[in-house]
Amino acid sequence: MGRVIAVANQKGGVGKTTTAINLAAALAQEKRKVLLIDADPQGNATSGSGIQRSNDRKNLYHALITGEPVRDLVLPTEIPTMWVLPSDKNLAGVEIELSEAENRATILRGLVSEIKDYFHFIIVDCPPSLGILTVNGLTAADSILVPVQCEYFALEGVTELFETLTRLKRELNPSLAIEGLLLTMYDERTNLSTAVAKDLRDFYGTQVFKTVIPRNVRLAEAPSFGKPILQYDPRSRGADAYIQLAKEVISHG
């Protein structure tokens, strides 16, 4: 049965979508069947995986609102064992349209359960907020991966997120585990990156991945070409980092 990992952080700009795309691609390169679910109305995980934006294609919005089967909506990528369940700006309407629904927090879990056996990993890219879409992602997930930018307020943001997770586990998903905290945009030349990494490791210990994601120009360029870093520049430091991360995630088995 596939493992469902939600990539989430209520802060924006921490490398969340970059991590969702490139972890999915790296897992696929490790011969795993992977589905990337784009649960962010910005649709960046969709376009960054090479799926052209389209207003007339059914996507995650239709699965959540009208119950369209996920297996009819997933799209292949250029990587043979990686698929995407796309999204677009219409997904923003879910917050309002599901606000009165009794099962509003668990719809995605039901959809995912129908296809879980087909994939080794399902990666959910959550939006940078703690609204209904993120709650659905975390309720459907077996674990959460938290990208943490190496900046001054990083520890504070993680503390807030963990407080929210405690409530969510109590009420909706008692078995939700921490896949790990992932240091992103790491620059070993700066004292700040080194200090933030040390603080997080001192505080959270083995919950912090050994792999760190460097600040890397090629990694930043890749989405504008609609390619994961492993296709755009497989020899870059960014590509190497995500391959190492995939191996760590697989080892958590």
Give the pLDDT band (50/70/90) at residue 54.
Answer: confident
Two tokens, residue 95: 């917050």
pLDDT at 12 over 90: no
CATH T-level fold of 3-252: Rossmann fold (3.40.50)
| pLDDT value at residue 56 | 83
pLDDT at 253 over 90: no
pLDDT at 1 over 80: no
Give the CA distances from residue 92 to residues 9, 44, 63, 118, 248, in Å, rounded to whole numbers and listed in that order.
Answer: 18, 14, 14, 28, 33
17 near 234, Cβ under 8 Å? no
| Phi-psi map region of 13: left, alpha, beta (phi>0 left; psi -120 to 50 alpha) | left
Mean pLDDT of the chain: 94
Lowest mean pLDDT, pick from 79-83, 150-154, 176-180: 150-154
Q: For 85-101, what is the mean pLDDT?
A: 91
**What is the pTM for the complete model shown?**
0.96
Q: What is the dihedral of CA 102, 103, 104, 107, to 10 degrees?
A: -160
CB atoms under 10 Å from CB of 231, counted, come to: 18
Q: In whole angstroms, give the CA distance from residue 24 to residue 27.
A: 5
Give the CA distances from residue 226 to residues 6, 39, 42, 76, 78, in Å, rounded to whole numbers and listed in that order.
Answer: 22, 18, 14, 14, 10
Give the single-character DSSP code of 95.
H
Give the pLDDT band (50/70/90) at residue 166.
Answer: very high
Q: In whole angstroms, give the CA distance from residue 231 to residue 79.
A: 9
121-157 burial: b if 16+ Cβ within 10 Å, else e: bbbbbbbbbbebbbbbbbbbbbbbbbbbbbbeebbeb
Q: For 79-90, what is the mean pLDDT?
A: 96
pLDDT tens sequence across 111-157: 999 999 999 999 999 999 889 999 999 999 999 999 999 888 888 88
Residues in contact with 67: Cβ distance below 8 Å, sequence separation at least 6, in sequence order: none
Q: In whole angstroms, give the CA distance from residue 36 to residue 164.
A: 24
| pLDDT value at residue 88 | 93
| pLDDT value at residue 53 | 82
179 near 145, Cβ under 8 Å? yes
Query: Domain residue spans in the chain?
Result: 3-252
Output phi, psi for 62, to 5 deg.
-70, -35
pLDDT tens sequence across 94-121: 989 988 888 999 999 999 999 999 999 9
| pLDDT value at residue 95 | 87
pLDDT at 55 over 80: no
| pLDDT value at residue 11 | 86
| Phi-psi map region of 140: left, alpha, beta (phi>0 left; psi -120 to 50 alpha) | alpha
pLDDT at 28 over 90: yes
pLDDT at 189 over 90: no
Q: For 8-27, what is the mean pLDDT?
A: 94
